[in-house]
Amino acid sequence: MINFNFHQHSLFSDGKAEPEEYIKQALELGFEAMGFSEHSPLPFKTPFSLKIENIENYVETLDALKEKYRDQLSVYRSLELDFVPGFSEDFEKWKRLCKVDYAIGGVHLVKPNDTEELWFTDGSDRNIYDQGVETFFGNDIKKAVKTYYHQLNGMVESQHFDVVAHVDKITMHNQNRFFTEEEKWYRDLVSETLHLIKEKELIIEVNTRGLYKKRSNKLFPDGKTLQQVIESDIPVILSSDAHQPGEINLYFDYAIKRLHHFGCKRLLFFNGSGWEERGLE
Ligand SMILES: [Zn+2]
Ligand SMILES: [Zn+2]
Protein backbone atom coordinates (compact mmCIF):
# COMPACT_ATOMS: atom_id res chain seq x y z
CA MET A 1 0.00 0.00 0.00
CA ILE A 2 1.23 3.47 -0.84
CA ASN A 3 0.89 5.50 2.35
CA PHE A 4 2.35 8.84 1.33
CA ASN A 5 1.41 11.77 -0.89
CA PHE A 6 3.60 14.80 -1.52
CA HIS A 7 1.32 16.92 -3.70
CA GLN A 8 -1.78 18.44 -2.10
CA HIS A 9 -3.43 21.80 -1.57
CA SER A 10 -5.10 23.20 1.56
CA LEU A 11 -6.97 26.46 2.19
CA PHE A 12 -3.60 28.24 1.89
CA SER A 13 -4.11 27.98 -1.87
CA ASP A 14 -7.10 26.45 -3.64
CA GLY A 15 -7.72 23.44 -1.42
CA LYS A 16 -10.96 23.10 0.51
CA ALA A 17 -9.82 22.34 4.07
CA GLU A 18 -7.34 23.28 6.78
CA PRO A 19 -4.03 21.38 6.65
CA GLU A 20 -4.80 19.53 9.89
CA GLU A 21 -7.88 17.94 8.31
CA TYR A 22 -5.63 16.27 5.72
CA ILE A 23 -3.34 15.04 8.46
CA LYS A 24 -6.24 13.50 10.39
CA GLN A 25 -7.39 11.74 7.23
CA ALA A 26 -3.84 10.56 6.59
CA LEU A 27 -3.58 9.09 10.08
CA GLU A 28 -6.82 7.20 9.54
CA LEU A 29 -5.36 5.74 6.36
CA GLY A 30 -2.12 4.78 8.08
CA PHE A 31 0.05 7.26 6.20
CA GLU A 32 3.67 7.67 7.18
CA ALA A 33 4.33 10.97 5.37
CA MET A 34 2.61 13.79 3.51
CA GLY A 35 3.55 17.12 2.00
CA PHE A 36 1.59 20.29 1.30
CA SER A 37 2.33 22.00 -2.00
CA GLU A 38 0.36 25.23 -2.23
CA HIS A 39 0.40 27.12 -5.54
CA SER A 40 3.16 29.75 -5.46
CA PRO A 41 2.25 33.47 -5.53
CA LEU A 42 1.99 35.15 -8.95
CA PRO A 43 2.28 38.90 -9.71
CA PHE A 44 -1.41 39.10 -10.60
CA LYS A 45 -4.66 38.03 -8.99
CA THR A 46 -5.58 34.37 -9.30
CA PRO A 47 -8.20 32.30 -7.47
CA PHE A 48 -5.65 29.57 -6.75
CA SER A 49 -2.32 30.99 -5.53
CA LEU A 50 -0.95 31.32 -2.00
CA LYS A 51 -1.24 34.99 -1.02
CA ILE A 52 2.01 36.75 -0.15
CA GLU A 53 0.51 38.05 3.09
CA ASN A 54 -0.23 34.44 4.14
CA ILE A 55 3.31 33.10 3.67
CA GLU A 56 4.32 33.62 7.29
CA ASN A 57 1.15 31.94 8.49
CA TYR A 58 1.77 29.01 6.10
CA VAL A 59 5.26 28.52 7.52
CA GLU A 60 4.14 28.79 11.14
CA THR A 61 1.05 26.61 10.76
CA LEU A 62 3.01 23.84 9.10
CA ASP A 63 5.85 24.08 11.63
CA ALA A 64 3.32 23.66 14.43
CA LEU A 65 1.70 20.67 12.72
CA LYS A 66 5.06 19.04 11.99
CA GLU A 67 5.80 19.27 15.68
CA LYS A 68 2.35 18.20 16.91
CA TYR A 69 2.27 15.04 14.78
CA ARG A 70 6.00 14.30 14.88
CA ASP A 71 5.56 10.88 16.46
CA GLN A 72 2.74 9.82 14.13
CA LEU A 73 3.69 10.91 10.64
CA SER A 74 6.09 13.22 8.83
CA VAL A 75 4.57 16.45 7.53
CA TYR A 76 6.42 18.46 4.88
CA ARG A 77 6.02 21.94 3.46
CA SER A 78 6.41 22.48 -0.25
CA LEU A 79 5.11 24.61 -3.10
CA GLU A 80 3.76 23.86 -6.55
CA LEU A 81 5.63 26.64 -8.32
CA ASP A 82 4.07 28.16 -11.41
CA PHE A 83 6.41 28.98 -14.26
CA VAL A 84 5.10 31.74 -16.55
CA PRO A 85 7.87 33.38 -18.61
CA GLY A 86 7.92 37.14 -18.16
CA PHE A 87 5.59 36.91 -15.15
CA SER A 88 6.62 34.42 -12.47
CA GLU A 89 9.57 35.21 -10.24
CA ASP A 90 12.53 32.93 -9.79
CA PHE A 91 11.53 29.81 -7.85
CA GLU A 92 14.30 30.47 -5.32
CA LYS A 93 12.45 33.44 -3.88
CA TRP A 94 9.33 31.50 -2.89
CA LYS A 95 11.28 28.41 -1.89
CA ARG A 96 13.30 30.53 0.53
CA LEU A 97 10.37 32.53 1.94
CA CYS A 98 8.26 29.41 2.46
CA LYS A 99 11.23 27.37 3.74
CA VAL A 100 10.20 24.42 1.60
CA ASP A 101 11.41 20.88 2.19
CA TYR A 102 11.25 20.13 -1.57
CA ALA A 103 9.78 21.88 -4.61
CA ILE A 104 7.34 20.98 -7.38
CA GLY A 105 7.28 22.93 -10.66
CA GLY A 106 4.39 23.11 -13.09
CA VAL A 107 2.75 24.96 -15.95
CA HIS A 108 -0.94 25.90 -15.71
CA LEU A 109 -0.87 29.22 -17.58
CA VAL A 110 0.68 29.22 -21.03
CA LYS A 111 2.22 32.44 -22.35
CA PRO A 112 1.64 32.71 -26.13
CA ASN A 113 4.44 34.44 -28.06
CA ASP A 114 2.67 37.51 -29.37
CA THR A 115 0.40 38.65 -26.53
CA GLU A 116 0.63 39.50 -22.84
CA GLU A 117 -2.51 37.47 -22.17
CA LEU A 118 -2.26 33.95 -20.76
CA TRP A 119 -3.92 30.71 -21.80
CA PHE A 120 -5.30 28.82 -18.78
CA THR A 121 -4.98 25.15 -19.71
CA ASP A 122 -5.95 23.65 -16.35
CA GLY A 123 -9.17 23.78 -14.32
CA SER A 124 -12.55 22.28 -15.05
CA ASP A 125 -13.71 24.42 -17.98
CA ARG A 126 -12.98 22.88 -21.37
CA ASN A 127 -14.32 25.99 -23.13
CA ILE A 128 -11.47 28.11 -21.77
CA TYR A 129 -9.02 25.62 -23.29
CA ASP A 130 -10.83 25.61 -26.63
CA GLN A 131 -11.15 29.39 -26.74
CA GLY A 132 -7.42 29.73 -26.06
CA VAL A 133 -6.54 27.43 -28.95
CA GLU A 134 -8.70 29.62 -31.17
CA THR A 135 -7.83 33.10 -29.87
CA PHE A 136 -4.12 32.73 -29.20
CA PHE A 137 -3.10 30.16 -31.79
CA GLY A 138 -5.63 30.58 -34.63
CA ASN A 139 -6.88 27.03 -34.02
CA ASP A 140 -3.40 25.67 -34.71
CA ILE A 141 -3.30 22.95 -32.05
CA LYS A 142 0.29 22.00 -32.86
CA LYS A 143 1.41 25.55 -32.18
CA ALA A 144 -0.59 25.64 -28.94
CA VAL A 145 0.76 22.34 -27.59
CA LYS A 146 4.27 23.19 -28.72
CA THR A 147 4.09 26.47 -26.78
CA TYR A 148 3.10 24.52 -23.65
CA TYR A 149 5.98 22.05 -23.92
CA HIS A 150 8.49 24.76 -24.77
CA GLN A 151 7.39 26.69 -21.68
CA LEU A 152 7.83 23.51 -19.63
CA ASN A 153 11.30 23.06 -21.15
CA GLY A 154 12.12 26.64 -20.18
CA MET A 155 11.15 25.86 -16.59
CA VAL A 156 13.27 22.70 -16.53
CA GLU A 157 16.26 24.58 -17.93
CA SER A 158 16.05 27.77 -15.87
CA GLN A 159 14.59 26.86 -12.46
CA HIS A 160 15.70 24.68 -9.58
CA PHE A 161 13.13 22.25 -8.24
CA ASP A 162 12.65 18.53 -7.59
CA VAL A 163 9.47 17.30 -9.24
CA VAL A 164 7.75 18.08 -12.55
CA ALA A 165 4.00 18.26 -11.91
CA HIS A 166 1.57 16.51 -14.30
CA VAL A 167 3.97 16.74 -17.24
CA ASP A 168 1.38 16.18 -20.00
CA LYS A 169 -1.63 17.91 -18.47
CA ILE A 170 -2.04 19.82 -21.73
CA THR A 171 -3.78 16.66 -22.98
CA MET A 172 -6.54 16.87 -20.34
CA HIS A 173 -9.05 18.91 -22.32
CA ASN A 174 -7.92 17.52 -25.65
CA GLN A 175 -9.64 14.14 -25.13
CA ASN A 176 -8.46 13.10 -28.60
CA ARG A 177 -10.54 15.90 -30.17
CA PHE A 178 -7.70 17.97 -31.68
CA PHE A 179 -4.95 15.34 -31.85
CA THR A 180 -3.97 11.88 -30.61
CA GLU A 181 -0.91 11.20 -28.51
CA GLU A 182 0.37 8.81 -31.17
CA GLU A 183 1.03 11.55 -33.71
CA LYS A 184 4.69 12.00 -34.53
CA TRP A 185 4.85 15.75 -33.90
CA TYR A 186 3.38 15.16 -30.43
CA ARG A 187 5.74 12.29 -29.62
CA ASP A 188 8.69 14.44 -30.71
CA LEU A 189 7.66 17.22 -28.30
CA VAL A 190 7.28 14.74 -25.42
CA SER A 191 10.62 13.09 -26.21
CA GLU A 192 12.41 16.43 -26.20
CA THR A 193 10.91 17.36 -22.81
CA LEU A 194 11.60 13.95 -21.22
CA HIS A 195 15.16 14.11 -22.48
CA LEU A 196 15.66 17.45 -20.74
CA ILE A 197 14.04 16.22 -17.52
CA LYS A 198 16.33 13.20 -17.51
CA GLU A 199 19.36 15.39 -18.14
CA LYS A 200 18.47 17.66 -15.22
CA GLU A 201 17.85 14.59 -13.01
CA LEU A 202 14.35 15.68 -12.09
CA ILE A 203 11.49 13.53 -10.86
CA ILE A 204 8.23 13.08 -12.74
CA GLU A 205 5.00 12.72 -10.81
CA VAL A 206 2.22 10.39 -11.82
CA ASN A 207 -0.88 12.41 -10.99
CA THR A 208 -4.29 10.81 -10.42
CA ARG A 209 -6.43 13.98 -10.17
CA GLY A 210 -7.90 13.93 -13.68
CA LEU A 211 -9.38 10.49 -13.01
CA TYR A 212 -11.23 11.17 -9.77
CA LYS A 213 -12.36 14.61 -10.96
CA LYS A 214 -13.69 12.85 -14.09
CA ARG A 215 -11.84 15.35 -16.28
CA SER A 216 -9.80 12.63 -17.91
CA ASN A 217 -9.74 8.88 -18.45
CA LYS A 218 -6.03 8.66 -17.77
CA LEU A 219 -3.23 9.52 -15.42
CA PHE A 220 -0.88 12.43 -16.07
CA PRO A 221 1.19 10.97 -17.63
CA ASP A 222 -0.18 7.67 -18.89
CA GLY A 223 0.05 5.54 -22.04
CA LYS A 224 3.02 5.99 -24.34
CA THR A 225 4.36 8.94 -22.35
CA LEU A 226 4.37 7.03 -19.05
CA GLN A 227 5.95 4.08 -20.83
CA GLN A 228 8.68 6.37 -22.12
CA VAL A 229 9.24 7.82 -18.64
CA ILE A 230 9.73 4.33 -17.19
CA GLU A 231 11.90 3.14 -20.07
CA SER A 232 14.06 6.26 -19.77
CA ASP A 233 14.55 5.39 -16.10
CA ILE A 234 13.30 8.78 -14.94
CA PRO A 235 12.35 8.47 -11.25
CA VAL A 236 8.65 8.84 -10.45
CA ILE A 237 6.49 9.76 -7.49
CA LEU A 238 2.80 9.03 -7.18
CA SER A 239 0.52 11.85 -6.11
CA SER A 240 -3.17 12.62 -5.97
CA ASP A 241 -2.90 16.43 -6.10
CA ALA A 242 -5.61 16.43 -3.40
CA HIS A 243 -7.69 19.56 -2.85
CA GLN A 244 -9.79 17.89 -0.12
CA PRO A 245 -8.86 15.46 2.68
CA GLY A 246 -10.91 12.68 1.06
CA GLU A 247 -8.73 12.85 -2.05
CA ILE A 248 -5.33 12.11 -0.57
CA ASN A 249 -4.97 8.61 -2.01
CA LEU A 250 -7.65 8.39 -4.67
CA TYR A 251 -6.86 6.09 -7.62
CA PHE A 252 -3.54 5.04 -6.11
CA ASP A 253 -4.40 1.34 -6.60
CA TYR A 254 -5.20 1.97 -10.25
CA ALA A 255 -1.99 3.98 -10.74
CA ILE A 256 0.07 1.19 -9.18
CA LYS A 257 -1.44 -1.27 -11.66
CA ARG A 258 -0.54 1.03 -14.56
CA LEU A 259 2.98 1.52 -13.25
CA HIS A 260 3.41 -2.25 -12.97
CA HIS A 261 2.04 -2.63 -16.47
CA PHE A 262 4.82 -0.41 -17.80
CA GLY A 263 7.49 -2.23 -15.81
CA CYS A 264 7.99 0.35 -13.08
CA LYS A 265 9.69 -1.19 -10.04
CA ARG A 266 10.26 1.78 -7.76
CA LEU A 267 8.67 4.97 -6.49
CA LEU A 268 10.43 7.82 -4.80
CA PHE A 269 9.66 8.79 -1.21
CA PHE A 270 10.70 12.02 0.53
CA ASN A 271 12.42 11.25 3.82
CA GLY A 272 13.09 14.75 5.14
CA SER A 273 16.53 15.21 3.67
CA GLY A 274 16.12 13.76 0.21
CA TRP A 275 14.34 11.26 -2.04
CA GLU A 276 14.77 7.55 -1.46
CA GLU A 277 13.53 4.61 -3.49
CA ARG A 278 10.66 2.45 -2.35
CA GLY A 279 9.93 -0.84 -4.07
CA LEU A 280 6.55 -1.30 -5.73
CA GLU A 281 5.15 -4.57 -4.45
ZN1 LIG B 1 -0.94 21.59 -10.92
ZN1 LIG C 1 -1.50 20.75 -7.61
Q: How far is the CA of 44 from the centre of ligand 2 (A)?
A: 19
Ligand nearest to the CA of residue 220, numbered in listed order: 1
Task: Tally the C-alpha atoms within 13 A of residue 75's C-alpha that lie toward its C-beta.
Answer: 25
pLDDT at 124 (0 to 100): 87
pLDDT at 1 (0 to 100): 85
pTM, 2 dp: 0.98
Ligand nearest to the CA of residue 106, numbered in listed order: 1
Q: How far is the CA of 106 from the centre of ligand 1 (A)?
A: 6
Q: Which residues of the chain register pLDDT less than 70?
A: none
Which domains does the chain carry? 4-279 (3.20.20.140)
b/e burial code for range 39-56 (CB count within 10 A of at least 16 → b): bbbbeeebebbbeeebbe
pLDDT at 123 (0 to 100): 84
Q: How far is the CA of 69 from the centre of ligand 2 (A)?
A: 23
Largest CA distance in the chain: 56
Q: Please list the residues that pair with 256 across neighbouring strands.
A: none
Q: What is the pLDDT of residues 66-120, one digit of tens each?
A: 999 999 999 999 999 999 999 999 999 999 999 999 999 999 999 999 899 999 9
Q: How far is the CA of 71 from the centre of ligand 1 (A)?
A: 30
